[in-house]
């Protein structure tokens, strides 16, 4: 009997061959500062497809040039980015995996010379003070996500993930720690959710495929959102057509985080079972038996691996062996 980790999973019209997901991890490798795909990206992502991963999610990709974390981030703010991203999609598909892209805006965590924006003029410690976003800034952000989704569809991506975590712009609007606004985008939980809601609506106007949202379900600040608040937000996202919540934590403010294997799985578990929405679990899941336990006990639907796939691009093959599952290998590698 095949392990659950290697069972297929269908979201809308997309079927993943297994439950292993490569989580978005910035590569900071667009060296011409133009946000375009380079050879590093082609090799990096394709090797994980060869390695047996079911879904690969491309790193945080900026929907606006001022929404980059650094000048070396990938971008999707221009039609000129589509051809390079389509190359990535084709390479990954040729090697048996599905591919998603994380659409992102860095907000106050952008390390750029240009003016940066946030819900309120509160800097991330040690970084420059952002401008409090005005109505035109917000309109531009929403339009940036819409156009980013349109380009992602044109490039052929299977999945879109919205970056709503780790202290970046949408997370900043969601949290009372960073959102001190008194207009329709702040002041209470309904208003703080408004920007994310508008972004989801904008993406849905041009995209009908699987839609994930990444959240920091523990903000590690006593004044921040509780897990209960994120369960409520997850219910709202489900009602808007979001298919899966990618449950991570932290990044909003500096914090001492006690990290251990599976330290964020409870977030995925609680949201999955209280908001009745599919979730992805992430955070130091490196042992195949641990990944299998998370799935078999109904704590998450997909397992997201990050640094482990940097260390070991072929983790899936070792995991299959450990779980007594036969995993089809590329013909070129079968002699091994």
End-to-end CA distance of the chain: 23
pTM over cut 0.85: yes
Q: Are 97 and 54 in contact (CB under 8 A)?
A: yes
CA gap 66, 77 in Å, rounded = 10
User: What is the model's pLDDT at position 256?
Assistant: 94
User: What is the model's pLDDT at position 252?
Assistant: 98
User: What is the model's pLDDT at position 336?
Assistant: 81
CA gap 101, 158 in Å, rounded = 8
H helices, E strands: number in the chain: 10, 12
| Helix residue spans in 10-79 (DSSP H) | 39-50
- Which of 57, 100, 206, 189 lies closest to 144 in space, CA to CA? 206
DSSP code at position 114: S
- Which of 216, 299, 236, 278 lies closest to 9 in space, CA to CA? 278
User: What is the model's pLDDT at position 2?
Assistant: 83
Q: Which two tokens stand for residue 146?
A: 């819409």
- Which of 287, 284, 282, 285 lies closest to 322 in space, CA to CA? 287
- The per-residue pLDDT for range 181-218, each reduced to its tens digit, is 999 999 999 999 999 999 999 999 999 999 999 999 99
Averages of pLDDT over each 10 residues, the chain, 336 residues: 93 97 98 97 98 98 98 98 98 98 98 97 97 98 98 98 98 98 98 98 98 98 97 98 98 96 98 98 97 98 98 97 92 87
Say how many C-beta atoms besides its own lie within 10 A of residue 233's C-beta: 24
User: What is the model's pLDDT at position 1?
Assistant: 65
User: What is the model's pLDDT at position 334?
Assistant: 86
């Amino acid at each position: 009997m095949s392990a659950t980790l290697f069972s297929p999973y269908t979201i809308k019209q997309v079927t993943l061959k297994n439950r292993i997901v490569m989580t978005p991890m910035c590569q900071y490798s667009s060296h011409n500062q133009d946000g375009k795909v380079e050879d590093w990206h082609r090799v990096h992502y394709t090797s994980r497809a060869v390695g047996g991963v079911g879904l690969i999610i491309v790193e945080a990709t900026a929907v606006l040039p001022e929404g980059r974390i650094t000048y070396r981030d990938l971008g999707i703010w221009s039609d000129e980015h589509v051809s390079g991203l389509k190359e990535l999609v084709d390479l990954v598909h040729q090697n048996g995996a599905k591919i998603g892209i994380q659409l992102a805006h860095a907000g106050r965590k952008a390390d750029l010379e240009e003016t940066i924006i946030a819900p309120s003029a509160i800097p991330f410690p040690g970084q420059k003070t952002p401008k409090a976003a005005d109505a035109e800034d917000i309109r531009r952000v929403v339009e940036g996500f819409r156009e980013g989704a349109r380009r992602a569809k044109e490039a052929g991506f299977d999945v879109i993930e919205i970056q709503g975590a780790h202290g970046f712009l949408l997370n900043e609007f969601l949290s009372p720690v960073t959102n001190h606004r008194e207009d329709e985008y702040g002041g209470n939980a309904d208003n703080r959710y408004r920007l994310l809601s508008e972004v989801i609506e904008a993406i849905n106007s041009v995209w009908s495929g699987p839609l994930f949202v990444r959240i920091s379900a523990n903000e590690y600040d006593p004044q921040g959102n509780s897990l209960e608040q994120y369960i409520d937000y997850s219910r709202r996202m489900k009602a808007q057509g979001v298919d899966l919540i990618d449950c991570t934590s932290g990044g909003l403010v500096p914090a001492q985080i006690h990290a251990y294997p599976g330290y964020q799985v409870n977030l995925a578990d609680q949201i999955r079972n209280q908001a009745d929405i599919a979730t992805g679990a992430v955070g130091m899941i490196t042992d195949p038996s641990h990944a299998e336990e998370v799935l078999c006990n109904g704590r998450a639907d997909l397992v997201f691996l990050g640094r482990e796939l940097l260390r070991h691009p072929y983790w899936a093959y070792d995991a299959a062996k450990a779980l007594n599952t036969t995993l089809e290998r590329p013909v070129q590698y079968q002699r091994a």
